[in-house]
Amino acid sequence: MSHYFARPVLASSMARQLIHPDVLSEGFRSGLFMSGQRRTGKTTFLHNDLIPALEREGALVIYVDLWSDTRANPAQLVRDAIRDALAQLQTPGSSLLARLSRVSGVDVGALSFKFGFKLEKIGETGGPPLSQVMTELVDQARRDVVLIVDEVQQAITTDEGKQLLVALKSARDAVNPRPGSVGHFIFIGTGSHRAMVSELTARRTQAFSGAQSIPYPVLDADYTADLLAHLHHTGVPNLPSHEVVLAAFRTLGQRPEELLKALRQVQLHTPAGQDPDGYLPVVAATLRAAAADIELAKVEQLGRLASAVFEWIAAAEGDARGIFSAEAAAHYSRVLGREVKVEEIGPVVNELMASNLILRRAHGLYVVADPAVRETWREKQQLLG
């Protein structure tokens, strides 16, 4: 049942806004941050749709995934990716040089890159600052250079990563405002931790404060219709209707792998001659509840105060307010059977956000990060009376 749904129109639109922005999308040049839930297809979209679309617009793209090696320093992973890209541009026959030749229309042999610094010194004490690296790269490539950092929130987990973001912002400021520049430096950060990705542009203390932040455009009806057409074409029998499949997909948080898992279970367990429309909703709800239970167990592991704060947020209609208020502290005190001081609440809220369980939407406004988890919690509360 493996299936990939291409999104060329979306990717082309995003690429044009980044490389050839109009007045309304010029802000993307300040940096673009895109966040969404895990396993909704962000990285797949980057590799199969957005990067090719950016290259068709003539951009030179450098990609690095900060989850490719979770033991490595995030800043080092980014510097290694930049260093590797520059080394490839100096190596005849490299894949990156070949791609650049295709987008530029220039013969590979005519492309020559010679940098005024040693590549191995990038990131080292006394080495070239990233502002110099990116300025020389843009000037020699004579086009926009796009750096994509996947799971970008990992950068702020270390002091060196934070310093890297400052250096990248300085590179942006060194390259982009120049009159008559032959290209720009465009930074794209994507991540599955929505609270932390949001902070990268919302907090004034962050290097990219004020940059553009958007939610990842999740798959929806077009995807499920295409998937069903693909399954019909490959001869998969007794499939549910599109309306039921779409509803199940939304129940599962619009995660393609979870939908495929649900459809496999329906194929395996629906009795012959029975309507699969009656089984898929039950399977989807069961899978959703199982995934949500794992997240709710994380809340319990953080302690009773964390559970009380989470419940305050989950019980709110819309955004939760006043989670640090005296009223909230009094509520937590009743739940725990002891006095809860206001100053105890902040560290617990930070732990809940660090675990990607809640999200700060704006100053003083919080929501449960995954709507499916919130719905499962509410359903459990109703069963408890």
- Return the pLDDT at 108: 65
Q: In the predicted model, is pLDDT for residue 297 greater than 60? A: yes
Identify whether 284 is part of a domain.
yes
Tell me: do 74 and 161 sit in the same domain.
Answer: yes
CA distance 122 to 171: 13
Q: In the predicted model, is pLDDT for residue 63 greater than 80? A: yes
Task: Return the CATH number at 372.
Answer: 1.10.10
Tell me: do 117 and 19 sit in the same domain.
Answer: yes
**Domain C-terminal end among 215, 247, 282:** 215
Residue 74: which domain range? 8-215
Q: In the predicted model, is pLDDT for residue 87 greater than 60? A: yes
Report the domain count for the chain: 3
Tell me: do 119 and 251 sit in the same domain.
Answer: no
Identify whether 119 is part of a domain.
yes
CA distance 243 to 249: 10
Identify whether 315 is part of a domain.
yes
Tell me: do 189 and 44 sit in the same domain.
Answer: yes
Helix (H) or strand (E) holding 83: helix 74-89
- Return the pLDDT at 101: 86
Tell me: do 262 and 331 sit in the same domain.
Answer: no
Identify whether 226 is part of a domain.
no
- Return the pLDDT at 106: 74
Q: In the predicted model, is pLDDT for residue 2 greater than 70? A: no
Tell me: do 169 and 112 sit in the same domain.
Answer: yes
Q: What is the DSSP string of 137-189?
A: HHHHHTS-EEEEEETGGGGGGSHHHHHHHHHHHHHHHHHTT-TT-S--EEEEE
**pLDDT, the chain, mean:** 91
Confidence (pTM):
0.82
Tell me: do 253 and 320 sit in the same domain.
Answer: no
pLDDT (average), residues 60-85 = 93
**Residue range 374-385, pLDDT digits in tens:** 888 998 888 876
Tell me: do 241 and 261 sit in the same domain.
Answer: yes
**Residue range 327-361, pLDDT digits in tens:** 999 999 999 999 999 899 999 998 998 887 887 76
Tell me: do 82 and 206 sit in the same domain.
Answer: yes
Task: Return the CATH number at 181.
Answer: 3.40.50.300
- Return the pLDDT at 141: 93
